[in-house]
């Protein structure tokens, strides 16, 4: 019988953080059932992710300090746990507000180490040089897309691209046998899901949403821990919860993922886009970064480059609601075949074994 391998994962947060949830926590059942003992050690508590909702700058700074200082002490105290690990996996970095002191301490234990990130964290202040230095010392880098891989390859040639993936067992295939008709009593339901910090992206298409709402029966649903006002757009706020997320997404007709075309957005890994597609929804996204790789325009989703495009495509859907079914079913099939946990969990397990045995 093959000995089980001990993996210690230093995550940034708990399940409330989408990156932690999608990049690490959802893999645990598969890893545990295939020869790994996995312990996760979150850096920040849930309260950290509520900081953007606090309007007072000074109160936000004070609360942030009250969270981050104990988090640093706890992470420092957790480092000796790596002695029993066959593999150490780090989400992003051990602590974002210092220049590699903890990573230097970790290297003393001489453990096989992976660093994984799914955002262009090297664009934030002081992080580029820290990451370039840190990545040189580890055994493998896992990133969410080719843009991030290009950066990681500057310091480490052992880079694996693992896309953000969806657990299809959470997304029951909805009944799409009924012909969709858009009426005043059954408006087109346009949805957006995400963290409060990314709500500004939704404002980028406010004009298009307002224009379409003036011409067709529509409802915007914001699935989040907070909401925003969208003047001229009938809006419903849905409190986000991990348990209800997949169910709420199946209640949409269209899921939207607008982005600015900049280097930070090109580092994103399309999580919300893949969620819409897994739920058999028609997804409309900005053709930025990995979004253009995920969506086959007019087949399993739509790509909008400008506010004019957003309006035109939403109008097309309102006038041709059969697209919701045809694109939605093709989208789900793509996620099942290319972006599902069921496909990628064995591949991630193989990467872990390769690093441990390398």
Average pLDDT over every residue of 120-141: 94
Q: Give the rounded distance of the alpha carbon of 89 from its chain centre.
A: 18
Q: Are 9 and 92 in contact (CB under 8 A)?
A: no
Per-residue pLDDT of 136-157, as tens digits, reads 999 999 999 999 999 999 999 9
pTM reported for the whole predicted model: 0.92
The confidence score (pLDDT) of residue 106 equals: 95
- The strands making up 282-285's β-sheet, listed across from edge to edge, are 235-239, 218-224, 188-193, 254-257, 282-285, 302-303
> What pLDDT is attached to residue 71?
96
Query: Is pLDDT of 358 > 90?
Result: no
Question: Which of 48-57, 120-129, 130-139, 225-234 has the least mean pLDDT?
Answer: 48-57
Looking at residue 289, its pLDDT comes to: 93
pLDDT digits (tens, 9 = 90+) for 2-17: 789 999 999 999 998 9
pLDDT given at position 51 = 84
Mean residue pLDDT across the chain = 95
In the chain, pLDDT over 90 holds for what percent of residues? 88
What pLDDT is attached to residue 1? 54
* Least confident piece of the model among 66-70, 170-174, 328-332: 170-174
Q: Tell me how far apart the alpha carbons of residues 343 and 348 are, in angstroms, rounded to a whole number.
A: 10
pLDDT tens, 293-341? Answer: 999 999 999 999 999 999 999 999 999 999 999 999 999 999 999 999 9
What mean pLDDT comes out for the span 285-289?
Answer: 96
User: Which domains are delineated in the chain?
Assistant: 5-165+340-357 (3.40.50.2000), 168-338 (3.40.50.2000)
Give residue 37's pLDDT: 97
**Residue 107 buriedness (CB in 10 A; 0-12 / 13-18 / 19+):** middle
Q: Specify the pLDDT at position 9.
A: 98
Of residues 58 and 109, more confidently modeled: 109
Task: Name the percent of the chain lying above pLDDT 70.
Answer: 99
Q: Is residue 173 predicted with pLDDT exceeding 90? A: no
Residue 172 makes CB contacts below 8 A (sequence gap 6+) with 246, 250
Average pLDDT, integer, range 193-217: 95
Residue 174: predicted pLDDT: 78
Q: Give the pLDDT band (50/70/90) at residue 197.
A: confident
């Amino acid at each position: 019988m093959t000995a089980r391998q001990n993996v210690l994962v230093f995550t940034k947060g708990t399940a409330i953080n989408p990156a932690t949830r999608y990049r690490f926590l959802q893999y645990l059942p598969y890893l545990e059932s295939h020869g790994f003992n996995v312990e996760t050690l979150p850096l920040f508590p849930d309260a950290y992710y509520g900081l953007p909702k606090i309007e007072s700058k000074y109160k936000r700074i004070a609360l942030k300090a009250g969270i981050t200082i104990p988090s640093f002490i706890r992470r420092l105290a957790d480092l000796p746990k790596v002695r029993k690990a066959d593999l150490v996996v780090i989400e992003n970095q051990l602590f974002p507000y210092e220049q590699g002191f903890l990573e230097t301490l970790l290297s003393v234990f001489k453990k096989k180490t992976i660093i994984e990130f799914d955002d262009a964290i090297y664009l934030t202040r002081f992080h580029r040089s820290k990451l370039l230095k840190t990545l040189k010392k580890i055994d493998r880098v896992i990133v969410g897309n080719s843009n991030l891989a290009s950066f990681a390859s500057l310091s480490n040639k052992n880079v694996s691209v693992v896309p953000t993936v969806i657990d299809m067992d959470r997304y029951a295939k909805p009944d799409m046998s009924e012909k969709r008709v858009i009426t005043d009593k059954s408006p087109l339901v346009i949805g957006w899901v995400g963290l409060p910090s990314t709500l500004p992206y939704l404002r980028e298409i406010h004009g298009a949403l307002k224009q379409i709402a003036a011409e067709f029966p529509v409802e915007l649903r914001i699935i989040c821990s907070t909401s925003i006002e969208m003047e001229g757009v009938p809006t419903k706020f849905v409190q986000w919860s991990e348990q209800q997320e997949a169910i709420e997404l199946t209640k949409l007709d269209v899921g939207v993922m607008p982005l600015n075309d900049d280097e930070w957005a090109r580092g994103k890994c399309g999580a919300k886009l893949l969620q819409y597609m897994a739920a058999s929804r028609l997804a409309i996204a900005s053709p930025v970064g990995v979004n253009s790789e995920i969506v086959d325009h007019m087949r399993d989703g739509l790509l909008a480059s400008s506010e004019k495009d957003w309006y035109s495509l939403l109008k097309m859907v309102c006038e041709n609601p059969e697209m919701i079914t045809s694109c939605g079913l093709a989208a789900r099939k793509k996620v099942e075949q290319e972006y599902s946990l069921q496909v990628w969990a064995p591949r991630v397990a193989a990467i872990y074994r390769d690093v441990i045995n390398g």
